[in-house]
Amino acid sequence: MALLHVLQFPDPLLRKKARSVVNVDDNVRKIVDDMFETMYEQVGVGLAAIQVNIQQRIIVMDVSENRSQPYCFINPEIIIREGVQYETEGCLSFPGVFDKVERAAKIRVKALDKEGKSFELDAEDILSICIQHEIDHLDGILFVDHLSRVKQERARKKLEKMRRKEY
Ligand code: GNR
Ligand code: NI
């Protein structure tokens, strides 16, 4: 296993679009394992391959309190959306930035698992939010894109300020 480097805004690589996985083979499973290791190490609830500079449609997630319910979605597709929810989000590519985003409340997602087998899952609350946040990443969309211009500018300034303090 290996820890992967998580890209941070405004890295243009975060704007790339991921390709569908054609074969769920050992190479893909190795990426999934490395992504889980990276996500747990970074204490994130989810991670999209785009964030670690891999342009493939792969997502890992664990929204459980004791970090014991790993989910992996390959080529995920939302096939049903219902209602709306408006909750605070964060992103490993935007350390320190949090804001409310409107999302579908309940979704049904269709994807392939680590063995390449198709499955469907109904999700609500944080799981639903996280799946939508991660699928956005695979399309080069960031959570701040859903915010007003003023809030986007505020987020950008906050990141710049934090970076000046770090170095
Ligand atoms: O760790 C994360 N927490 C989070 C909180 C609310 C809504 C979405 C997320 S996803 C984020 C990890 C991440 O950046 N995934 O892309
Ligand atoms: Ni994110």
- Tens digits of per-residue pLDDT, 69-120? 999 999 999 999 999 999 999 999 999 999 999 999 999 999 999 999 999 9
Residue 4 per-residue DSSP state: -
Which ligand 1 atom is at minimum distance from the Cα of 45? Answer: 1
Residues assigned a catalytic role:
134
Find out whether 110 and 80 touch, Cβ atoms under 8 Å: no
- Residue 44 in domain: yes
Gap from CA of 47 to ligand 2 centroid (Å): 7
- Residue 1 in domain: no
Give mean pLDDT, residues 14-26: 98
pLDDT, position 1? 85
- Residue 129 in domain: yes
pLDDT, position 13? 98
Which helix (H) or strand (E) covers residue 39, if one does? helix 26-41
Coil vs helix vs strand at 67: coil
Neighbouring-strand partners of residue 4? none
Q: Which residues of 146-156 are buried (b: 16+ CB within 10 A; e: fewer)?
A: bbeeeebeebe
If pLDDT is split at 50, 70 and 90, which confidence band does 165 have? confident
**Which ligand minimizes its atom distance to the CA of 92?**
1
- Residue 16 in domain: yes
Gap from CA of 120 to ligand 2 centroid (Å): 22
- pLDDT tens sequence across 31-42: 999 999 999 999
From start to end of the chain, where are the E strands? 46-48, 58-61, 71-89, 99-112, 118-123
Ligand 1 contact via 103 beta carbon (within 6 Å): no
- Residue 7 in domain: no
Q: Which domain holds residue 16?
A: 12-166
How many domains does the structure of the chain reveal?
1
Amino acid 161 reads: K
Q: Which residues contact 122 (CB under 8 A, 6 or more apart)?
A: 106, 107, 108
The overall longest dimension of the chain from CA atoms, in Å, is 47
Q: Could you tell me the pTM of the whole model?
A: 0.97
- Domain of 114, CATH number, reads 3.90.45.10
- Residue 2 in domain: no
Ligand 1 contact via 95 beta carbon (within 6 Å): no
pLDDT, position 61? 98
**Which ligand minimizes its atom distance to the CA of 59?**
1
Angstrom distance (rounded) from CA 75 to CA 1: 22
Task: Tell me the pairing of strands 71-89 and 58-61.
Answer: antiparallel
Gap from CA of 110 to ligand 2 centroid (Å): 20
- Residue 5 in domain: no
pLDDT, position 166? 78
Ligand 1 contact via 92 beta carbon (within 6 Å): yes
Place of tokens 């997630």: 61
Ligand 1 contact via 130 beta carbon (within 6 Å): yes
